[in-house]
Amino acid sequence: MNCQDLIQELSNFIDGELDAASKQELESHLKECTECKLVVDQTKKTVRLFCDSEPIELPGEVRNRLHNALRRKFKEAAH
């Protein structure tokens, strides 16, 4: 496996979707290639920063507007 091959398989690797043989090949390359190791680690960190995020609180006026619209919808449905 060379560096280009690794990049093509990067998502499959960090998503745990590689078969055992490909995973082993990729991990062997990582042991020898500092640059690819940096790419893998930094890409994982990038994803982690985003996926670890929590949704914000919905602003009060937005929430009120949403729930008022829903209640109008419920009334329409009831008639």
Partner 1 sequence: MLCANLKTETFGAGLLFSPRNFLSTPNPHRLASAVAREDEHLLVAAAKSGDATAFEELVSRYERKIFRLTMNITRNREDAEDAMQDAFLKSYSHLKTFQGDSRFYTWLVRIAANEALMRLRKRRPGQFSLDEPIEGDEDLMPRELQDWGPGPEQRFAQTEMREILSSVIDELEPDYRTVFVLRDIEELSTEETADALGISVPAVKSRLLRSRLKLRQKLDRYFKQGATN
Footprint of partner 1 (CB under 8 A): 3-4, 7-8, 10-12, 14-16, 35, 38-39, 42-58, 62-63, 65-67, 69-71, 73-74, 77
Which lies closer to partner 1 via its Cβ, residue 21 or residue 35? Answer: 35
Task: Say if residues 41 and 48 touch (Cβ distance below 8 Å).
Answer: no
Shortest Å distance, C-beta 34 to partner 1: 8
- Token pair 């619209």 is found at 69
Which lies closer to partner 1 via its Cβ, residue 28 or residue 48? Answer: 48
Shortest Å distance, C-beta 21 to partner 1: 20
Structure tokens at 39: 């790419």
- Token pair 């998502």 is found at 11
Shortest Å distance, C-beta 8 to partner 1: 7
Task: Say if residues 10 and 39 touch (Cβ distance below 8 Å).
Answer: yes
